[in-house]
A = this chain, B = another copy of it.
Amino acid sequence: MPNALLEKLRGFTAMPPELAGKLTALLSKPRDIPARQDLMTEGDAPAAMVVMLEGWACRYNILPEGTRQISAFLMPGDCCDLHVSVLTEMDHSIATLTPAKVAHIQRDELNDLLDAEPALMRAFWWMQLVNESVMRAWIVSMGRRDSLQRVGHLMLELYARATAIGLVRDDRLVMPLTQIVIGDALGLTPVHVNRVLRRLREEGVMEIQGGTLTIADSAKLARVTGFDDSYLHRRLKRAA
């Protein structure tokens, strides 16, 4: 598999091999991380940027009552804290959801390269802005969509993002999120997530089976949930 970060940046900008090489050179040797392990913990002063190469992770907070809220999902190509070290302290944690491969980039080295390569800098900006757009979309979902729309909208988001990085094969996405995790992301109980998934399955719209997401009727799902992928700001769309 080619480098997931390059793959992702190519979604925004053309990436000449020479530039790709320079970026790749900054990446540390990949490290394997088991599932359910923190990559960064609230209160940490992070030292380097972490790049996801394989596997899934999430940003999350634990509340005083012990409940968890997930605020983002990270897929291959996503970065933990691009602007690391501007802030002194993490205000949330990041944990793997599956076994993962990650690499590090030292901030100073990255900054030097970005200064020298404006196109790359713009690509990183774009990545950051897309992250913000996604967060706003989550706020909209949690505020104004009911449980069925929330679940469907999230699945369409993940499906679109996975498609952009080549993770979708035969219209199926291996998506190892438990119903508990989906609930923690959407502010729902796992029991309720279960009922919603059943309804979506019974209506023939989408299905999660053995850790695999299949969207049978994406047009209907998009209509029902108010999903419009323009907030993901993909420049170079892949063929479906």
Partner-B contacts on A (CB < 8 A):
59, 61, 63-65, 67-69, 71-72, 83, 86-89, 91-92, 115, 122, 125-126, 128-129, 131-133, 135-136, 138-140, 142-145, 184-187, 226, 230-231, 233
Residue of B nearest to A84 (CB): B129
In this complex, what residue of B is CB-closest to A118? Answer: B111
In the complex, the answer to whether B187 meets A142 with C-beta atoms within 8 Å is yes
* Of B69, B129, B143, the contact of A140 (CB 8 Å cutoff): B69
Further pairs besides A92-B136, A115-B115: 18, Cβ < 8 Å = A61-B136, A61-B140, A63-B144, A71-B136, A71-B140, A83-B129, A86-B125, A86-B129, A87-B233, A128-B128, A131-B132, A132-B132, A135-B139, A139-B142, A142-B142, A142-B143, A143-B186, A144-B187
Q: Which residues of B contact A92 (CB under 8 A)?
A: 136
Residue of B nearest to A140 (CB): B69
